[in-house]
Structure 1
Amino acid sequence: MIQGFFILFVGLVYSTNSARASVAYPLQAKYSNTMLYKAHTNQKVIALTFDDGPDTRFTPLILDVLNKYDVKATFFLLGTRVHTYPDIVKQIYSKGHAIGNHTYWHPKLTDTDVKSMIWEIEKNEQEIYSVICIKPELFRAPYGAINEDQVRQLEKMGYRGIGWSVDSQDWKSLPANVVKQKVLDSIHPGAIVLMHSAGHWTQDLTGTVKALDELIPYLKKEGYIFVTIPKLWLLENTNEKEFPK
């Protein structure tokens, strides 16, 4: 994340049991047609997601690792960086990764209002469309901070709000072994994993790149399948017995 502190999801409630299995997501429960924090499944499918990009320091390195293992991920892009690095946006999209909207300036939306959120989303939407001619249908609030009024507005705008159930905390510039362990400690079938492909200039995401290069082959050996958020959404919101290819 851009700022040097972590803000928990609004409405995220942790029980005293294992964090892996007993996390409740009230916004997803109440607005299941709009919000997704995890898929409820026993199938070993997970979605890697990357916030705050693109940049020219770490995003290309992450793309290289994903390409190395033929893994598709979901990138939640910042409008100001889309404007600055359009060629990297094109690379992300051309490699088959899903694209999401992460606002234009990365504000904490719960400190603003619905009108400000609309501006942030639409401004970024215009930037993304100008580069790759698509309108994203996925949205992630900076810091995961979003209230019910804003969730209802997302639905009106045709967006799906995406949270996470596994936090790598890589924005803290952690070494690779720590990033890797934080993911492994919380991984579960249907997980959405939060990582970052860019950040403040003081942040070093080298640990993210190295951890990813170890996590992907390890989790594949454990039987996990890596999917994009649109595919995970289908699994959560259909009655398919098998994961949609």
Structure 2
Amino acid sequence: MRNNRSFFILKFLLMVNIGLVCAPISAQASTYPLQAKYPNTMIYKAHTKQKVIALSFDDGPDQRFTPLILDVLNKYDVKATFFLLGTRVHTYPDIAKRIYSDGHVIGNHTFWHPKLTKTSVQNMKWELEKNEKEILSVTNVKTNLFRAPYGALNDQHVKQLEQMGYRGVGWSVDSDDWKSLSSDEIKKNVLNTIHPGAIVLMHSAGHWTQNLTGTVKALNELIPYLKEKGYTFVTIPELWIIENGNS
């Protein structure tokens, strides 16, 4: 009897490890400790039953994929939030200007894209301030939104963000589009974890070896599908108000 019980326990653990037990864990069940600890500074999702979604795009701008993504968003009259790299804002100022003129929200994504948990808090401050000046000089926008490259932040970084007047933005739905996935794979990743109040992570640019064609195609199909399902697309500042009010 004891041997049988041990066998079934081992079998269950094996099934969990290979993904045969339970549906994918929903974002609603996930915990976001930095948002829980610093609700006035960090957001990964809004805790709401309203069917709202915030699309967000990292690593732009570029001339290959950012304009195509902007075309799709304009086609469906959807506003999103773009977290821009300072070095690319400097290289592609006209695309950065178009993002803002098209009515999208701009956020800071550092200047050089370092993994901040492997550098000092002072280096994060330097990255933010340098990019802040670049974005301001090109778009005349003073943003207070920040997304860390790779989402890598710790308590010290968050406290520094608070001192600088920034709000840190994570995500609750990851498209994994940076892997140059097909549109079907990207759609599956999004739809398997979508939920009211979600922040969806996508990319509008990347390394020259990355192909974001799947992102463009997936967006063109995801947006009308989710609208049919009753979802409304909002920007990060709009989602922040839903989560925290005007604070």
TM-score, with structure 1 as normaliser: 0.90
Q: CA deviation at 1:111?
A: 0.1
Q: Distance in 1 between matches of 2:109 and 2:232?
A: 25
Q: What RMSD in Å do the two structures reach over aligned CA positions?
A: 1.3
Query: Which residue of 2 is the match for residue 190 of structure 1?
Result: 197
What CA deviation, in whole Å up to 9, does each residue of 1:72-98 have, x standing for no partner? 000000000000000000000001100
Following superposition, the deviation at residue 21 of structure 1 comes to 2.3
How far apart, CA to CA, are the structure 2 residues paired with 1:219 and 1:112? Answer: 39
* CA–CA separation in structure 1 for the residues paired with 2:28 and 2:130: 37
Q: CA deviation at 1:115?
A: 0.5
Residue 176 of structure 2: which of 142, 147, 169 is its match?
169
2:24–2:192 contact (8 Å) kept in structure 1: no
Q: Which residue of 1 aligns with 2:164?
A: 157
Cα-to-partner distance string for 1:134-170 (whole Å, 9 max, x where unaligned): 2111000000000100100001101000000000000
Q: Structure 1 residues 66 and 17 mapped into 2: Cα distance closer, same or farther (>3 Å)? A: closer
- Which residue in 2 is equivalent to 1:58? 65
1:1-245 pair list within 5 angstroms: 18-238=25-245
Matches of 2:24 and 2:149, distance apart in 1: 27
Residue 131 of structure 1 aligns to a residue in which SS?
Answer: helix
Q: Distance in 2 between matches of 1:82 and 1:230?
A: 21
- Structure with the bigger percentage of helix: 2
SS where residue 107 of structure 1 aligns? coil
Local SS of the residue matching 1:33: coil
- Following superposition, the deviation at residue 132 of structure 1 comes to 1.1
User: 1: CA distance between counterparts of 2:187 and 2:241?
Assistant: 27
What residue number does 2:11 align with?
none
- Tell me, in whole angstroms, the C-alpha distance in 1 between the residues paired with 2:226 and 2:197: 13
Deviation at 1:19, TM superposition (A): 2.6
Would the aligned equivalents of 2:79 and 2:235 in 1 still touch at CA under 8 Å?
A: yes
Q: C-alpha displacement at 1:17, in angstroms?
A: 7.4
- Runs of 4 or more, structure 1, over 2 Å off, are 16-21
Identical positions, percent: 74
Count of equivalent residues: 225
Partner of 2:192: helix, strand, or coil? helix
8 Å contact kept, 2:59–2:109: yes
Unaligned runs of 5+ in 1: 1-15, 240-245
Please give the alpha-carbon distance, in whole angstroms, between the structure 1 residues aligned to 2:43 and 2:28: 16
Larger Rg: 2
Deviations 1:191-244 (A, max 9, x none): 0000000000000000000000000000000000000000000000029xxxxx
Measured after TM superposition, the shift of residue 20 of structure 1 is: 3.1
Letter in 2 for 1:166: V
Shift of residue 18, structure 1, vs aligned partner: 2.4
- AA aligned opposite 1:172: K
